Amino acid sequence: MAQTNIKSTALEQPVSITRDGFLPWFSQMLTRYGLLWLCILLVILFSLTTESFASMLTLNAILESKSKIALLALAATTTMIVGKIDLNVGFGIVLWHILVITLQVQFGFSWQMSILIVLAIAALYGLLNGILVALADIDSFVATLGSGTVLYAIALWHSGGRQIVGDLPDEFIALNSTEIFGLPISAFYVLIVAIIMWLITEHTPTGRCMYAVGGNPTAARLNGINIKKYTIVPFVVSSVLTAFTGILISAQQGVGQASVGMDYLLPALVGAFLGSTTIRPGRINVWGTVVGIAILAIGISGIQQFGGAFWVEPLFNGTTLLLSITIAGYAQRKRLLNQKSIQKKSS
């Protein structure tokens, strides 16, 4: 499997300011890091125009409210790398956050055992989705839409359409309410998950195989890569990460209700798609996803502090999704042209 030993950046065409000049170098830097610079500019703009934006209160509010979406966006990223979409980053939240509460308040399980049970069931559910996509050869959008709708129906049946409430242990609540250095612990969960995913996807043969499968499954198969394995495993990881996010949501809200979950789906997908336009333009990447979520969080928070109406957030998310998909498609085509140019020169 010689293909797996190639660096993930091997087909990217670096531009040198000394060799190619300032304009080509600046163009590549703007394409690669433009979204990051936009994020910084938005922070400066909102800080100068609103008195309350540049404060620890706003920072904590953004980190607390958007960290769950960031985790779900990273979950979606794992399957997008192999060219698949997992809609259960929205559907799964509904059942997982309800189940971890009912196991404690209705069945008497400890909070630790409840978490383990939910994570184990989520892993099996992710395995099922992976099998539907990899072995049954069902389109990932259709497979996860169908299985997710069934999961949502189970959540409605399980909860009876009512809120599930009860006394939850302080240790369980602390999973979300703890602060480290004055920042919510959920932000550190995002950082840890992002670092682990970045190390795996960018610096291991596993990550290179995932990108190979997502980029060209036929070529990956011819190079001896197990397509089914590298398709199924991301669905398992995505489902477990979604379940962990659901656990954090239940620790935050303290109640289980079937109305929670679907509002997370669109922002998570937007963050992942938007992330493919930066850092590594034209392909899904971990830090791009983090920057994408940061853009959404800062933009929405700033607009709301300007007095934006309640419908501004879904409008912003939908518009950004369309824009990000358009830019990502352009970046992907440009990336493929660069790859073909490099391959011609090397041959």
Instruction: Summarize pLDDT for 1-60 with one digit per residue, the tens.
Output: 333 333 444 344 555 566 656 566 666 666 677 778 878 888 888 888 777 777 888 888
* pLDDT score for 10: 39
- Mean pLDDT of all residues in 235-263: 90
Tokens of 51: 């008195």
Helix (H, G, I), strand (E, B) or coil at 256: strand
* pLDDT score for 1: 36
- Percentage of residues of the chain with pLDDT beyond 70: 82
1, part of any domain: no
* pLDDT score for 20: 59
- Percentage of residues of the chain with pLDDT beyond 90: 44
Cβ atoms of residues 34 and 28 within 8 Å: no
239, part of any domain: yes
> Average pLDDT, whole number, for the chain?
83
* pLDDT score for 23: 66
How do residues 52-92 score in pLDDT, each as one tens digit?
777 888 888 888 888 999 999 999 999 999 999 999 998 89
- Mean pLDDT of all residues in 261-284: 80
Domain residues for the domain of 182 are 54-259
Query: From CA 232, how far away is CA 1, in angstroms rounded?
Result: 20
- Mean pLDDT of all residues in 320-342: 65
101, part of any domain: yes
* pLDDT score for 6: 35
Cβ atoms of residues 275 and 291 within 8 Å: yes
Query: From CA 94, how far away is CA 300, in angstroms rounded?
Result: 24
Strand partners, 183: 180
Strand partners, 164: 256
* pLDDT score for 9: 42
- Mean pLDDT of all residues in 321-329: 68
pLDDT at 115 over 90: yes
* Secondary element (H or E) of residue 266: helix 265-275
Whose CA is closest to 101, among 150, 174, 41, 167?
A: 167
- Mean pLDDT of all residues in 221-243: 94
> The tokens 């240790």 sit on which residue?
171
Please count the structural domains in the chain: 1
Band the pLDDT of 308: cuts 50, 70, 90: low
- Worst-scoring range by mean pLDDT, 26-40, 182-196, 202-216, 267-281? 26-40
